[in-house]
Chains A and B, each alone.
Chain A
Amino acid sequence: MKKLIRTVLAAVALSAVAAIPAQAGPVIDFDGGLDTSLVWFPPLMTHGDALVQGDYYLSTVSTKAGAAAGDLVGALVDGSDVASTCMSLVCPTNNSTQFLAMLNDGLPFIGRLDGAGFQIKSVDASFIAAAGVAVPPLAMILRVYGFTDIGGVFFEDILLPGPVGGVLGFASYDFSDAFSGRSYVEVDFYGYSCNAAGSCTRSADTAQFALDNIAFVPEPSSLALFGLAVAGLALARRRRNGNA
């Protein structure tokens, strides 16, 4: 994994930018309109559960050998009540809306209900730490895979920092133009938690992270309507990235 880190640091690490204002495209924000009828014990997420919001689904699975129905892989967390819900976990505290916490090396993957391709644009993410466990400054590599309809696989890495002063917070991450420019039929989020030596794994139940505001590039039909706005946003984003 050291090799992975070098690659990441050299080339494709995404920089966190300030929260992006409301944008004109589909988004999974785990708030209004979220359908939990395919979740066994909401708000807890188990192996094989699925959330539906708009045209998109997000399914949660365990990738462990012997994974079984009912295994805990995540939870929907009310951001305004993090202190109660994350009783002995260190969850991000700067998001007052509902978000998805992925736990115990759980894997979330997303797609469209109609199986059509989509382009992913940005995501808010944060590491989640177990209480009482030391976390290095680089806490996790969140490797985001995109699968195209003809079998192509592409990925981009997001580096999630450890707690600062014992506190974690969401940051917003834009995917590169190359990554977000492709159309995928499925996008997976593989978390690898890192130790102080820079070795990163997803087999010790410590790959835990929070996701929110998974934003997609508007579809062609709506692109015309919002083209002007998107152009403005892209300009703004470049400026922010340039300053970072």
Chain B
Amino acid sequence: MNLRLATLSTLLLMGGLSGAAMAQSRSTYIIQLAAEPAATYSGNVPGYTATQPAAGTRFNARSPAALAYSSYLDSQQLSVAALVGNPQIVASYKTVYNGFAARLTAAEVQTLRASPLVVAVHPDEERKLDTISTATFLGLTAPGGVWSQTVGGLPVKGEDIIIGVIDGGVWPESPSYADRVSGGVPVFSGGSSAYGPPPAGWFGTCQAAEGFTPALHCNNKLIGAQFFNAGFTAGRPASGEGSKHWTEFYSPRDSVGGATGHGGHGSHTSSTAGGNSGAPVTLSGINMGTASGMAPRARIATYKVCYTFVNSAASDGTGSQNTCFTSDSVSAIDKAVADGVHVINYSISGSQTSVNDPVEQAFLRAANAGVFVAASAGNSGPGVAVAHVSPWLTTVAASTHDRSLSGDVTLGNGAKYSGASINPTPLPATPMIRAEDAGVAGADATSLRLCFNTGVLDSSKVTGKVVVCDRGSNARTDKSLAVANAGGVGMVLADNGAGLVADVHSVPSVHVNAADGAIIKAYAATAGSTAAISAFYNSGKPAPVMAGFSSRGPNQGDSNMLKPDLTAPGVDVIATVTAALSPSQRDAVANGTLVPPPDWASYQGTSMSSPHVAGLAALMRQAHPTWSSAAIKSALMTTSVTTLNDGLAGEQNGLLPWSQGAGHVVPNKAIDPGLVYDAGKIDYIRYQCKVNRPAVVPASDCTTYGTLDETYNFNLPSITVGSVSGSVTVTRKVTNVGASSAVYIASASVPGFTTVVTPSNLSLAPGETKSFTVKLTAAGAVENQWAYGSLSWTDGVHVVRSPVTARTGKSILAPAEIKGTTVSGTRLITVKTGFSGRMTANKGGMKAVTMGPTNALSPSATSSATLKAACVAGLDTASIKVYSVSIPSGAIVARFELRDADVGAVGDDNDMGLLAPDGKFIYSGNDGSNEAVQVINPAAGGYRVCVVAYGGAASMTHRLSSWVVSASDASSSLNVLLPGNAVAGGTATVGVFWSGLATGGRYMGGFQLKDPAGLVQSGTAVRVNTDGTAPVASPDNGMSSNPRNK
């Protein structure tokens, strides 16, 4: 999975070492130990008192008890490391995660896994990084808005709240981070001091390293700046492929931006969350007004975990790639909580299926320590790929805001067309020409139409004219550069249906839609045609609309829990970034001889929406210092409003909670929500005991606090039930956070269900908590289709709204999957039945994997939508391989897998999708190549499995693993035994037993349960991997914040 391993392997091969030596190669693993980390330690180790904070307070890492317990954890970690001869330790975690990262062989991993002190071993993984007017758009600046309110005499702008940003570092020269003010403008010298010393409870530091000097670069605004790169540097070559890229700094400094660098992301996110207000913005030389973070008075602490390395095959053509290792992220979260941050922003990809990911587990302890965490939902939309599925953090989708930078093109015939533009210089009426008519002799017609910057435009035809170019293939800014190079003075860019974008162009330009473009081209072809281009202006536009790239739900880890939680602005967000520098300028910054300029850019991504929510959480924390992070999340969710229709079809539509969660944030209402759905450590323990029991430490917590009966009963401000068999009763509790007693009245409806709230009104004193139930009974709901409704509590002043999403199931409810790792095994499962009588079953398997041939592809970063289109077309391309699969009638389960182990080079990122005969497309787009799609009870017919080489080596190879299991595959290796009868609305136990498997294999079986009429009512896959020599990586999100610039 890690490029550095590929490099290490290559070196070993070149050295002529044997295969045995290869097997001993080391990679980084994160080892989680059994004892509680300090932030949530409850005092169960003799001789060490509890160190977890009391409710409403923060963890104090400097208390004598915390220091003592941390040293105890140190000794435990050392004794575990000693089991494998004290390997190289990459990192040690003690605050929010008890464990360490180390360089280990597969055999050493097995040894550690056998130790009772070890809870889990995770391979280190690579993840990716996923605003001027947004504060106004969100209403913060409005009269009576949050910023105009006060707490203790101070405006609610994040005063004395510390926002920790775990990202790509900081560009400290930006006025967003200055701590002085002159004439309302933030400055680094002169003027007057704007901030006092760091708030009480801050224990963080500024680290001196390349291009970063604490005395110069940290101040009372940027109070912390640290970097964590042990995971990134482990095993990394000093030069050549895979080595640190020249744009990078091993320091808290964000790396260089511009055309070749990947820097800017960390500065963009931190300034969006808590950057100063009044910071003057210049975008490519154009004055854009001033910028402000959401919590402009908050203090900022940055924790750098993402770094750029040399990758000559990078799919974006930069020759470099940015990556973030989970081991470094856990180090940063550990430190941020110990430092005393109030809020963390995490705009980095994450697991789409598991709360057992080390980063998610670290955030669990952070939440228990009173820290609010905002995380990005991912940029793999509109496919189902929402990441960060844990209930203890707030997962943020991305939507548009109302800024629309526009320009007009006025033709000689008087017609005027508007489009996207940030052209600062008006161009008077000027002769115009279609690109098609402006080519050199023999120019390729397509290259010409698209205005390739390859000399196809004839300067004798273009000089002094406005050229009409078509969008597509090459970068939009490349087209205006081609026009400028040929002597042109303006460009009209005709869209291709992908949507208008305002870019900084080489000549005055307007980007018009395809229909207007066709009319303009027809006119341009006439003799004497002219065009004038206006300067840009803000025309405004309807908003918010969900961004197409925002990853959609349902939650693939738990169908009874809504993700994402909410949405915030994440399209065309302008914030501070890093400057584009030459290598020599970069070196001068590194050695302190050059002070680089600040820079600004417009980015889009859920990486941009997440820090909006982190900043809003800082405002909430200031206004309500005793609220838990769950209460803040609840307030933001229950007061949100719906987005506008994005027009997408089916479950991808932006109006649905899969896209927008509870809705778009409205901070002015969130500050006074009326009621909150609170949750805390005990709720998280009970949830984990249900879904992730092995990770619960101490294990006795499941006895002490119990296990959540059903995950839809977790006290979220959203209700989601993945399978209603007849009826279901959901429990919730709400707390009155208003200043006075109130009577709240419920109203709820879900189409296709009768919805009964009991009690239907709640009388609550201030601070009082009461429980209620919501009973959903199917009444005409279409089987197996989601229905969307809502629940609202109102006291006449507040409206506390929750999305309610439910789906009826079949009349037998059985687990979708049974997993095992042993050659024989037994599973006893509870099934729920909606009928009385005797059920029957079909079974198939166990069946060994079928491995496809090795196929080679060229990498190309391809969206889920493009992959689907190619899959529908059904033709192989240079980067996409189409496999046709025929599935027989009566099939029980079909599964298709790619594995990191089966690709040509470690670090290759392959993605895949499955196209069903009915046109449904199931997408798997994680980082790396561990991908899988699985269909239970598939309809018979022709399917296509489409594999895309997303990024990696110049020639990427893969082998497809497949299983299609039907009743004709039944054998004695899998037996399913049923109860003698079933009771309507009751439960019964089904026994499953497999045996006789060989070691070293990957097997699949399955069974269907049928009602007394013989109709199939459930399907369960049985998946047994007997080759588990190393921990299997959980699927993770493939996410990129790169604006699609074509």
Interface residues, chain A, with chain B CB atoms under 8 Å away: 41, 43-44, 46-47, 62, 64, 66-68, 70-73, 75, 77, 83-89, 91, 101, 103-104, 130-134, 163-167, 203-206, 208
Bin the interface of chain B by size.
35 or more
CB <8 Å contact, B989 and A89: yes
CB <8 Å contact, A167 and B981: no
What does the 1/0 interface line of B879-903 toward A look like (CB < 8 Å)? 0000000000000000000000000
Shortest CB–CB separation between residue B840 and chain A, in angstroms?
11
Q: Which of A46, A84, A104, A132 contacts B820 (CB 8 A)?
A: A84
CB <8 Å contact, A86 and B980: no
Interface of A is mostly: loop
Q: Roughly how many angstroms separate A205 CA and B981 CA in the complex, as a whole number?
A: 8
Q: Which of B408-416, B455-463, B825-833 contacts A (4 or more CB under 8 A)?
A: B825-833
Q: List 13 A-B contacts (CB under 8 A).
A: A41-B993, A62-B980, A71-B979, A72-B991, A87-B818, A87-B827, A104-B988, A130-B988, A132-B709, A166-B707, A167-B706, A203-B983, A205-B979
What does the 1/0 interface line of B987-999 toward A look like (CB < 8 Å)? 1111101000000
Query: When A44-B977, A67-B980, A83-B694 are in contact, do A75 and B828 touch as well, CB less than 8 Å?
Result: yes
Q: Which of B705, B829, B980, B987 contacts A133 (CB 8 A)?
A: B987
Is B740 interfacial (CB-CB < 8 Å)? no
Q: Roughly how many angstroms separate A185 CA and B689 CA in the complex, as a whole number?
A: 44
Count A-B contacts at CB 8 Å. 118
CB <8 Å contact, A205 and B986: yes
CB <8 Å contact, B988 and A205: yes
Q: Roughly how many angstroms separate A88 CA and B709 CA in the complex, as a whole number?
A: 11
CB <8 Å contact, B703 and A164: yes
CB <8 Å contact, B826 and A204: no
Residues of A within 8 A of B978 (CB): 70-72
Name the residue of chain B whose CB is nearest to the CB of A72: B977
Query: When A66-B838, A87-B829, A132-B710 are in contact, do A41 and B977 touch as well, CB less than 8 Å?
Result: yes
Q: Roughly how many angstroms separate A44 CA and B980 CA in the complex, as a whole number?
A: 14
Q: Roughly how many angstroms separate A70 CA and B841 CA in the complex, as a whole number?
A: 12
CB <8 Å contact, A47 and B706: no
Is B71 interfacial (CB-CB < 8 Å)? no
Q: Roughly how many angstroms separate A166 CA and B689 CA in the complex, as a whole number?
A: 9
Q: Which of B709, B818, B977 contacts A70 (CB 8 A)?
A: B977
Q: Roughly how many angstroms separate A38 CA and B977 CA in the complex, as a whole number?
A: 17
CB <8 Å contact, B975 and A101: no
Residues of A within 8 A of B689 (CB): 166
CB <8 Å contact, A165 and B702: yes
Q: Roughly how many angstroms separate A215 CA and B883 CA in the complex, as a whole number?
A: 62
Residues of B within 8 A of A47 (CB): 980
Besides A89-B829, A133-B709, A203-B983, 11 other A-B contacts (C-beta < 8 A): A41-B977, A44-B993, A72-B989, A73-B980, A75-B826, A84-B820, A84-B827, A87-B827, A89-B828, A130-B830, A132-B710
Shortest CB–CB separation between residue A48 and chain B, in angstroms?
12
Name the residue of chain A whose CB is nearest to the CB of B837: A66
CB <8 Å contact, A84 and B703: no
Q: Which of A66, A101, A130, A206 contacts B981 (CB 8 A)?
A: A66
CB <8 Å contact, A88 and B979: no
Q: Roughly how many angstroms separate A71 CA and B705 CA in the complex, as a whole number?
A: 36
Residues of A within 8 A of B988 (CB): 104, 130, 205
Residues of A within 8 A of B686 (CB): 166
Q: Which of B705, B710, B827, B838 contacts A85 (CB 8 A)?
A: B827
Residues of A within 8 A of B1010 (CB): none
CB <8 Å contact, A71 and B706: no
Residues of B within 8 A of A73 (CB): 980
Residues of A within 8 A of B987 (CB): 130, 132-133, 205-206
Is B815 interfacial (CB-CB < 8 Å)? yes
Is B693 interfacial (CB-CB < 8 Å)? yes
CB <8 Å contact, A208 and B989: yes
Residues of B within 8 A of A166 (CB): 686, 689, 702-703, 706-707
User: Which residues of B, 700-730, contact A by the 8 Å Cβ criterion?
Assistant: 702-707, 709-710
Is B982 interfacial (CB-CB < 8 Å)? yes
Shortest CB–CB separation between residue B995 and chain A, in angstroms?
9
Q: Roughly how many angstroms separate A108 CA and B705 CA in the complex, as a whole number?
A: 34
Q: Roughly how many angstroms separate A43 CA and B975 CA in the complex, as a whole number?
A: 11
Q: Which of B828, B982, B983 contacts A87 (CB 8 A)?
A: B828
CB <8 Å contact, B828 and A103: yes
CB <8 Å contact, B702 and A167: yes
Name the residue of chain B whose CB is nearest to the CB of A65: B981
CB <8 Å contact, B986 and A204: yes
CB <8 Å contact, B990 and A72: yes
Closest 10 pairs between A and B when the two form their complex, measured CB to CB: A166-B707, A205-B988, A71-B980, A166-B706, A104-B979, A72-B977, A130-B987, A103-B989, A165-B706, A44-B991
Residues of A within 8 A of B838 (CB): 66
Q: Roughly how many angstroms separate A84 CA and B975 CA in the complex, as a whole number?
A: 17
Q: Roughly how many angstroms separate A86 CA and B975 CA in the complex, as a whole number?
A: 16
CB <8 Å contact, A75 and B991: yes
Shortest CB–CB separation between residue A139 and chain B, in angstroms?
14
Q: Roughly how many angstroms separate A132 CA and B729 CA in the complex, as a whole number?
A: 12
CB <8 Å contact, A64 and B989: no
CB <8 Å contact, A89 and B693: no
Name the residue of chain B whose CB is nearest to the CB of A203: B983
Residues of B within 8 A of A62 (CB): 980
Shortest CB–CB separation between residue B691 and chain A, in angstroms?
12
Query: When A72-B991, A204-B986 are in contact, do A131 and B830 touch as well, CB less than 8 Å?
Result: yes
